Amino acid sequence: MTNILRLDASIKPAGSVSRRLTDRILARLTAAHPAASVTSRDLAAGLPAIDAAWIGAIFTPAEARTPEQAAIAAVSDTLIAEIKAADVLVIGLPIYNFGTPASLKTWFDHVARKGETFTYTEAGPQGLLTGKRAIIALSSDGTRFGSEIDFASGYVRHMLGFLGITDVDFVAADAMVFGPEEALAKAEGQVDALAA
């Protein structure tokens, strides 16, 4: 069975291009894998930012955590359990101010945990989430995918690779202010050409 984790980060409740693309990707994947299970998480609904209390909770052994620490750690533990269970990640990536939405950065902060999703070796860091695939639905108004002002796609690719996920595809409805219909049609064509 295929387990799909869908992450949306757009702050737009309606009219979001990245959500439209993640819908299309999900429809393609579930048509090819009717028995697939889908876990959806709307990151724009909010995640607590990591802070000193988070570090204290994460680095305290589970059996020694206070009730407050256990509640703090439970958020990160849940997000890590979701990504570990997933075979495929479908991530909506709208570009805000040349970078990722803060909610997606916060999600990476929660799931990048030493001993859980990566480890350090003499050769450097090694991701522990190997054998997974990620499909990223990127959207932007003025930023062109892969350009020198696109600080989002490279960051997301790097973080996924850091976690061990190196099979990464992007579909991009980019620079939409210069031709929204053409940009969306291009991205939808990229979705339709993906191996499901």
104 CB contacts (<8 Å, ≥6 apart)? Answer: 7, 9, 43, 91, 93, 156
Q: How far apart are CA 42 and CA 134, in angstroms?
A: 17
The annotation status of 18 as a binding-site residue, yes or no, is yes
The annotation status of 168 as a binding-site residue, yes or no, is no
The annotation status of 16 as a binding-site residue, yes or no, is yes
Q: How far apart are CA 24 and CA 15, in angstroms?
A: 14
Q: How far apart are CA 36 and CA 22, in angstroms?
A: 16
Place of tokens 């269970």: 85
Q: Would you list which residues are annotated within the binding site for FMN?
A: 10, 16-18
Q: Would you list which residues are annotated within the binding site?
A: 10, 16-18
